[in-house]
Structure 1
Amino acid sequence: MSRLSRLVPQFIIATAVLHFAYAVAAPNSWLPMLRDGLFDTVRGQSDVIAAERHGDLWFLITGIGLLALGTMAQQAVRQVGRLPVQVGSYLLAMGTIAFVVEPVSGAVLVIALGVLAVIAARPSRAGAAAPAA
C-alpha cells in the first residue's frame, strides 16, 4: 500500500470538511432559512438571496458527497490495500464539470485530487509479476 493511497482519502475528507465549514459559516443562509421553516426556502426569494442560499445548499450537498467518497475510499484502501481507480475518475469528472461551469472556484483542487487518486490507484511495481524470460 502506497503512502499516497492512504493520503488521498484523507485529502478528500479534508475537502469535505472545508465544504461543511463554508456552508455552515455562511451568515446569510442557514439561520434565515431555518426561521423561514427550511422547506422550499431557496425559491421565492430575491435573486441575490436565492443565489446565496442555493450556493450554500450545494456546498453542503457536495460536502456530503465528498465525505462519502473519501470514507469509502479509505475503507477500500484498508481492505484491499490500494485505492480504486474509480475514485480518481469521479473526482476528475466532478472537478472538470465544475471548472467548465464555474472556472473561478475550487474545481482545480478537485481535479488535482482526481489526478492524485489516479496516480495512487496504479498498481505498484513491487506487486507486479516479474516478466517471463
Structure 2
Amino acid sequence: MKKVILLASFGLISTAAFAQWTVSYHQSNLPFLGVNKQLGEKWLPEFRVGTDNFVDNVSLELVINHIFYKNDRIDFYGGIGGRIQSFEGLVIPVGLNIYPFERKDFGFHIEAAQFIGDGDVFRGSFGIRYRFLKE
C-alpha cells in the first residue's frame, strides 16, 4: 500500500506543477484514466489510474513517452514506465494521438503496451483525449 501512496503522490505533484493539462480515457480489458503534460516538443509524461475495478485493486502507472513523429493532426509516441498493484513491473507503451478537428483540443488515441514483470501482458487500448489549450 505504501508503494501505491508514494506513486500516486509523485504523479499528482508532478502533474500539478504544470498549467496546461491533458486528460484521457483508455478503453480496454485493463481500462485507465490518464493525466499528462507535454514537456517541450518531444516528451509526454503521464500518470495513469486503473478504472473499472475495486478500490483495493486500483493500479497506478507512471510512464514517460517520447514523441517520435508529430504534425498538426497526429503524435506518434513510445515510452517506458512502471506499474504497481496488479501486473506490477515495467510498462512499454507505443501509441498514436489523433486530433482530427480544426481546434486541436479534442482527439482520439490508440495504444499498445507490453507489461514485463508479474504476468507478462500485452494491452491494446483506444479512447479519447482532451487538451486544455492555452488561449
TM-score normalised over the length of structure 1 = 0.30
TM-score normalised over the length of structure 2 = 0.30
**Larger strand proportion, structure 1 or 2?**
2
CA radius of gyration, larger in: 1
**Larger helix proportion, structure 1 or 2?**
1
With a CA cutoff of 8 Å and minimum separation of 6, indicate the structure with the bigger relative contact order: 1
